Structure 1
């Protein structure tokens, strides 16, 4: 509280102490409010060092969405609700915004065939044609693929080998000069899709990873080249890639839609995998009990190293631990609202995109 002269206790503290030891621990929205209080706070919280230090203290949480907006899990073991981070402009139409990618607190969204980058924390957005952070320069870049009509049709109907290779492009956010790179290896499973709502790439070791067929396609973001990585072939092709605390993981859904097996890449260079744990939905003591007659392929996302979210059926999100113990149902204010678990993650950041400057 200010005294009679209007001076607060913060005015007696060094700027570095306020910025680096107090403001850096606040939630993102509170940091943005503090920027309007004091000029030194605004400048101190706008540096790259502060933004990255603050970002690293934020939890990386699963993204959930429905026709009304985009949400994330609250991240608290005691709070089973979800928090809306972005509201759709018109919730009464069928044009739901689709989240195609997430990186460093930024989202690539699509609505009515238009793509744009959005920061839901600062409410900024940039329109783009069609996303990863280059660790060597700090630049955010977009990777997209362009098919001819003939190639698109052949891939869609499951043809073994498209007759023409697609073109891949890399664009630095804030630049209008995309670079064309070529996917040179023909695969019977087709090509990785950058606009991948169901199976987005996982960022690990400065590379993007897609689970395609019985292999993993890898894009080196520095060399801008593609290659293939091996994985346990006994898991079949019904797998999903996960980021498990900095390690690459695979979630395999069994054909009975009951068991989910998690494997972790133990040695990246040697490409050796190890079984981690199994979640048995039929043994889970959930309230209300799970309807195991529903053969809906479950989807899983990690909250932290011990807790998971599982979409067992449409609009039923389970909060459990890695031992399969039920911790609660994830709920929303509107019990009739239907949610689905995306495979993207949101870790808040207060970075300003280049096109917002000036």
Structure 2
């Protein structure tokens, strides 16, 4: 009987400690949904050590999903050391909101003495391909990782002989899946389910015309439940030449898991796609002026009609006279949509420049000792738990996180 009373006393004391730890006894609605939900993922992780009550509160799935939705979508940058031995490469996220310029380029993953690249991204997950200095799709080792939770699963054996085209969440099942292209004959498109990673990829029906497209050299855009690729990243179908190539956008419906095509604007050159707050946007170099980027917008996704939005003269000596520009560096550009306007992110040697739709320089970041390029993938961090990762154990999930 005394033991039972003691247990109740200990329980009441623990509840009192948990209650007092709740930031001055603020109401849970304010404490959890107005304060903790605004913390960066790293700081929110530290809050789990405060008390059991805090750990339970910030580990609930509905809270973590809401926290993920509040995170910024940050462009990923490829950083490669150009001084020192051994040279290394890593992936970093660009966050211009950081108070100090030195904190704007935030390392995400690093591989010493090897080459790493992001092949796909979705909901805080990254698909990494890691190999030698010049890995081929047959040799590259693929992994799925979550930088926010420092979890990783290697997929080398399952994905051998395949190239990753995209990562998406299958809405009917809530499963995360990879769209693959099989490299050996017969050529085919396949889907690999991360939640059933022990199973081999399964084939997806598609037309011969789709199979003629090449592997994409830029990231697909996931918008309105569809993956989109621009025509210039795809190989020419059989029998076509550059003069009569059909300029279309390849679309993969992630719910039906089927392919279709959409038209692109006329007279585009080296085009890429971007998300304008739920609206499909496209940017490309002007055919006659290699220093100007043209922007189109598809206001009505169903009618698939494009309209020109603006032209941005971005590479001007008067704009950034302190940075030497070469013709090769002018290809390092990506369009984004921030604060209701189009922004262009430009990479030049060890600098990253952000200009607005008028060509005005808004901000810049410098990373001396590194060569920078834009991966055209984004990271929106998430602390949500995914079942396809192995249990956290010491030494298992250290690579490749910094």
TM-score range, shorter chain: 0.7 to 0.9
Which whole-Å deviations, capped at 9, do the CAs of 1:322-358 have from their partners, x for residues lacking one? Answer: 22101232223xx121110111001111112213365
* TM-fit CA distance, 1:295: 4.7
Of 336, 343, 350, which aligns to 2:383?
Answer: 350
Counterpart contact for 2:75–2:93, Cα < 8 Å: yes
Task: Give the match for residue 205 of structure 2.
Answer: 182
Relative distance call for 1:327 and 1:102 in structure 2 (3 A) is same
CA distance 1:269–1:33, change in 2 (3 Å):
same
CA distance in 1, matches of 2:309, 2:315: 19
Whether 1:261 and 2:294 are equivalent positions in the alignment is yes
Partner of 1:147: 183
Q: Is the 8 A contact 1:192 1:217 kept in 2?
A: no
Match of 1:279 among 299, 303, 312: 312
Query: Which of 62, 70, 73 is the matching residue for 1:57?
Result: 70
Query: For 2:347 and 2:290, how far apart are their aligned partners in 1?
Result: 9
8 A contact 2:119–2:128 mirrored in 1: yes
Structure 2 counterpart of 1:152: none
For residue 364 of structure 2, what is the aligned residue in structure 1? 329
Inter-partner Cα distance in structure 1 for 2:28 and 2:363: 43
Of the candidates 275, 279, 282, which is equivalent to residue 250 of structure 1? 282
Structure 2 equivalent of residue 160 of structure 1: none
SS of the equivalent of 2:59 reads: coil
Question: Computing the radius of gyration over CA atoms, which structure comes out larger, 1 or 2?
Answer: 2
Q: Distance between the aligned counterparts of 1:120 and 1:14, measured in 2?
A: 32
Gaps of 5+ in 2: 1-15, 81-88, 132-139, 233-246, 392-402
Q: Name the counterpart of 1:161.
A: none
Q: Separation in 1 of the partners of 2:122 and 2:71?
A: 13
Q: Matches of 1:212 and 1:307 in 2, distance apart?
A: 22
Q: 1:295 to 1:66 in 2, by over 3 A?
A: closer
Name the counterpart of 2:6: none
- Match among 335, 339, 350 for residue 301 of structure 1: 335
2:118 maps to which residue? 99
> Residue 201 of structure 1: which of 208, 213, 220 is its match?
220
Matched-pair contact (CA < 8 Å) for 2:346–2:354: no
Query: Structure 1-normalised TM-score?
Result: 0.83
Distance 1:79 1:259 in 2: 31
Aligned counterparts of 2:307 and 2:300: Cα–Cα separation in 1: 9
Rounded Cα–Cα distance in structure 2 between residues aligned with 1:114 and 1:292: 35
Which of 374, 381, 388 is the aligned partner of 1:341?
374
Q: Give the root-mean-square deviation of aligned CA atoms.
A: 2.5
User: SS of the residue aligned with 1:10?
Assistant: coil
Q: CA deviation at 1:111?
A: 0.6
Q: Which moved more, 1:60-69 or 1:126-135?
A: 126-135
What CA deviation, in whole Å up to 9, does each residue of 1:78-101 have, x standing for no partner? 6555332324231xx2x2211111
3-state SS, counterpart of residue 349 of structure 1: coil
How many residues were matched structurally? 329
Determine the structure 1 residue equivalent to 2:23: 10
CA distance in 2, matches of 1:14, 1:8: 12
Helix, strand or coil for the counterpart of 2:50?
Answer: coil
Aligned counterparts, 1:211-250, within 5 A: 211-213=230-232, 214-236=247-269, 238-250=270-282
Instruction: Note if contact 1:66-1:339 (Cα within 8 Å) is conserved in structure 2.
Output: yes
